[in-house]
């Protein structure tokens, strides 16, 4: 691994701007690292040639007054990228090449970045371990045969292993924060509507949100700034003035009130997590923040609510993959109905089918009121809990996940225990509020553990500031033995 790819995005941008490194040299070093991806399996598609060409073009006519000048970036394979196949980790889209570019990636390219490759993920972002991908599971660079989390598992793995200087993921129930926590990286899920959903393969529309995955909080601020824009093509996009998260970043959090919700102390949570949480409190207190005990009484309903709302929307969102217009079509079947059945049976994996079944069930007549409507009501209650809490506190501190990274296959056949992984992250998506996971320590195996900070809608600056202050004090250092290169 070259030294350059150990550096943070912020440092790299500085080097480029100071002309101490060329984009071509930078890109080559990442391409070299990507060549060792075989065991990690974090990439589905690499764009080395095209990336090198873009890097050379940049070096010929460099433009430095952008946020990401000459930076190669690999992205989760859920973002549609023009002329580069976009699979969503599914056989259904194995050979799908969009002729359009998602708003988010387009924003990155407008800031001077270019595409390095497309990163593995759970099929249609449905999973918490990156084991549901049609393109095989991804391994966590922290240890062989360990999952990187999901669904943005490829993104987290590639970032932690230095195969991309920064990346982006999507988070529907924790798909950015949980893998960040598992890989010792930073992941932020912005306020719902802050980042455009246009051009992102949809999972659950009312929950999906793209966000940055980075090595440091500064990088995260920089990336978020590059990603955010009001997008007329997304009816749920928020129209607000752009903020300079990066330049406004400060670790001065004196006087801020941090809430500790008692409901996040769940049964069977390991002592290590508890210790981590206590340490988080101490660090924020030391930084001048005030710690306040709060209650989010409906937390326990979040997971069941999520597993009604998300599959319901997914069952409808995934109806378009029917073999008629694009993507996989089974060659079996004698009529339209049989073609649909075979295409969808062969094209989707088990987890996707499971969620389509759940979603179809909860929307069915006779069950709709008992499940979907009730879930919507509970969702509102969960949101109200947060609204109440934010009357008294500036941010909320919780663990990111109830455990550290687990072994591949450990939970694959136990969906409930897999779903429980998202217990701390899911409420945030239901409430549509922003949250960040930052590395906060390690467990007994030296596997990283993350802590989650949550703020009220559009309070991303405050969220980043608190995370920045905590990051400095925690001073998390990850040492990888780079087993996958051996």
Active-site residue, from 7, 28, 76, 189: 76
Which residue's CB is nearer to another protein, number 131 or number 234?
Answer: 234
Cα gap 157→140, rounded to integer Å = 5
Which residue's CB is nearer to another protein, number 102 or number 218?
Answer: 102
Binding of another protein by 477 (CB under 8 A): no
Binding of another protein by 263 (CB under 8 A): no
Contacting residues for 41 by C-beta, under 8 A, at least 6 apart: 120, 135, 136, 137, 138, 139, 154
Least distance in angstroms from the C-beta of 331 to another protein = 14
Which residue's CB is nearer to another protein, number 313 or number 422?
Answer: 313
Which residue's CB is nearer to another protein, number 119 or number 202?
Answer: 202
Binding of another protein by 319 (CB under 8 A): yes
- Cβ atoms 93, 87 nearer than 8 A: yes
Least distance in angstroms from the C-beta of 135 to another protein = 17
Identified binder of another protein from the candidate list 70, 89, 98, 212, rule CB under 8 A? 98
**Residue owning tokens 């990636």:** 105
Active-site residue, from 8, 90, 175, 196: 175
Select from 30-38, 93-101, 179-187, 246-254 the region that touches another protein (CB under 8 A): 93-101
Cα gap 220→223, rounded to integer Å = 5
Select from 313-321, 399-407, 415-423, 476-484 the region that touches another protein (CB under 8 A): 313-321
Identified binder of another protein from the candidate list 201, 418, 440, 453, rule CB under 8 A? 201
Least distance in angstroms from the C-beta of 205 to another protein = 4
Site string for another protein, 366-405 (x = CB under 8 A): --x---x---------------------------------
Binding of another protein by 365 (CB under 8 A): yes
Angle between helices 217-227 and 9-17 (to 10 degrees): 70
Contacting residues for 311 by C-beta, under 8 A, at least 6 apart: 204, 355, 356, 358, 359, 362
* Catalytic residue check, 133: no
Binding of another protein by 123 (CB under 8 A): no
Beta bridge partners of 261: 294
Binding of another protein by 95 (CB under 8 A): no
C-alpha torsion angle, residues 282, 283, 286, 292 (rounded to 10): -50
Beta bridge partners of 257: 290
Which residue's CB is nearer to another protein, number 361 or number 419?
Answer: 361
- Cβ atoms 434, 171 nearer than 8 A: no
Q: What is the DSSP letter of 107?
A: H
Binding of another protein by 458 (CB under 8 A): no
Binding of another protein by 205 (CB under 8 A): yes
Identified binder of another protein from the candidate list 6, 14, 38, 232, rule CB under 8 A? 232
Binding of another protein by 230 (CB under 8 A): no
* Catalytic residue check, 76: yes
Binding of another protein by 19 (CB under 8 A): no
- Cβ atoms 209, 200 nearer than 8 A: no
Binding of another protein by 63 (CB under 8 A): no
Assign residue 127 a region: left if phi > 0, alpha if psi is -120 to 50, beta otherwise? left
Q: What is the DSSP letter of 202?
A: P
Q: What is the DSSP letter of 483?
A: G
Which residue's CB is nearer to another protein, number 96 or number 419?
Answer: 96
Count interface residues toward another protein (CB under 8 A). 41
* Catalytic residue check, 39: no
Contacting residues for 152 by C-beta, under 8 A, at least 6 apart: 76, 119, 121, 125, 167, 169, 170, 171, 175, 176, 179, 187, 213
Which residue's CB is nearer to another protein, number 204 or number 438?
Answer: 204
Select from 27-35, 134-142, 319-327, 436-444 the region that touches another protein (CB under 8 A): 319-327
Select from 177-185, 312-320, 377-385, 391-399 the region that touches another protein (CB under 8 A): 312-320
Identified binder of another protein from the candidate list 19, 240, 275, 320, rule CB under 8 A? 320
Site string for another protein, 331-350 (x = CB under 8 A): -----x---x----------
Active-site residue, from 102, 151, 196, 437: 151
Mapped onto helix, strand or coil, the DSSP state of residue 167 is: strand
Which residues of the chain form contacts with another protein (CB under 8 A)? 80, 86, 88, 93, 96, 98, 100, 102, 197-202, 204-206, 232-236, 312-313, 315-316, 318-320, 322, 324-326, 336, 340, 360, 363-365, 368, 372
The residues assigned a catalytic role are 76, 151, 175
């Amino acid at each position: 691994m070259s030294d350059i790819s150990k550096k943070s995005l912020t440092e790299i941008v500085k080097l480029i701007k100071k002309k101490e490194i060329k984009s071509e040299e930078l890109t080559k070093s990442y391409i070299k690292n990507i060549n060792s991806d075989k065991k990690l399996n974090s990439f589905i598609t690499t764009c080395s040639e095209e990336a090198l060409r873009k890097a050379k073009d940049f070096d010929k006519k460099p433009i430095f007054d952008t946020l990401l000048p000459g930076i190669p970036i690999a992205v989760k394979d859920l973002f549609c990228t023009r002329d580069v196949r976009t699979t969503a980790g599914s056989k259904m889209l194995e050979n799908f090449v969009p002729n359009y570019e998602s708003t988010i990636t387009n924003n990155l390219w407008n800031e001077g970045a270019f595409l390095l490759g497309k990163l593995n993920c759970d099929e249609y972002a449905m999973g918490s371990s990156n084991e549901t991908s049609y393109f095989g599971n991804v391994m966590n660079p922290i240890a062989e045969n360990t999952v990187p989390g999901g669904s943005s598992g490829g993104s987290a793995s590639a970032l932690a292993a230095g195969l991309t200087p920064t990346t982006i993921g999507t988070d529907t129930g924790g798909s950015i924060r949980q893998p960040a926590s598992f890989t010792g990286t930073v992941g932020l899920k912005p306020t719902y509507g802050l980042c455009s959903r246009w051009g992102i393969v949809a999972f659950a529309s009312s929950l999906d949100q793209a966000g940055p995955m980075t090595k440091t909080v500064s990088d995260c601020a920089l990336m978020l700034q590059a990603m955010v824009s009001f997008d007329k093509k997304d009816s749920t996009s928020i129209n607000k003035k752009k903020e300079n998260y990066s330049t406004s970043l400060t670790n001065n959090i004196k006087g801020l009130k941090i809430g500790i919700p008692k409901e996040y102390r769940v049964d069977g949570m390991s002592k290590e997590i508890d210790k981590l949480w206590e340490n988080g409190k101490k660090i924020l207190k030391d930084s001048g923040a005030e710690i306040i005990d709060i209650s989010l009484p409906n937390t326990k309903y979040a997971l069941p609510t999520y597993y009604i709302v998300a599959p319901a929307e997914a069952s409808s969102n995934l109806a378009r993959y029917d073999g008629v217009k694009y993507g996989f079509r089974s060659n079996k079947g004698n009529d339209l109905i049989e073609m649909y059945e075979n295409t969808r049976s062969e094209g989707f994996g088990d987890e996707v089918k499971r969620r389509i079944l759940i979603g179809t069930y909860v929307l069915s007549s006779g069950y709709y009121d008992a499940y979907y409507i009730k879930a919507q009501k509970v969702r509102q209650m969960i949101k109200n809990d947060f609204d109440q809490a934010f009357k008294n506190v500036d941010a909320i501190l919780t663990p990111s996940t109830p455990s550290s990274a687990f072994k591949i296959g450990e939970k694959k056949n136990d969906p409930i225990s897999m779903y429980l992984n998202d217990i701390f992250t899911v409420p945030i998506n239901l409430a549509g509020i922003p949250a960040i996971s930052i590395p906060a320590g390690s467990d007994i195996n030296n596997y990283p553990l993350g802590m989650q900070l949550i703020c009220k809608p559009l309070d991303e600056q405050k969220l980043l500031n608190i995370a920045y202050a905590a990051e400095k004090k925690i001073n998390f250092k990850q040492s990888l033995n780079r087993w996958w290169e051996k």
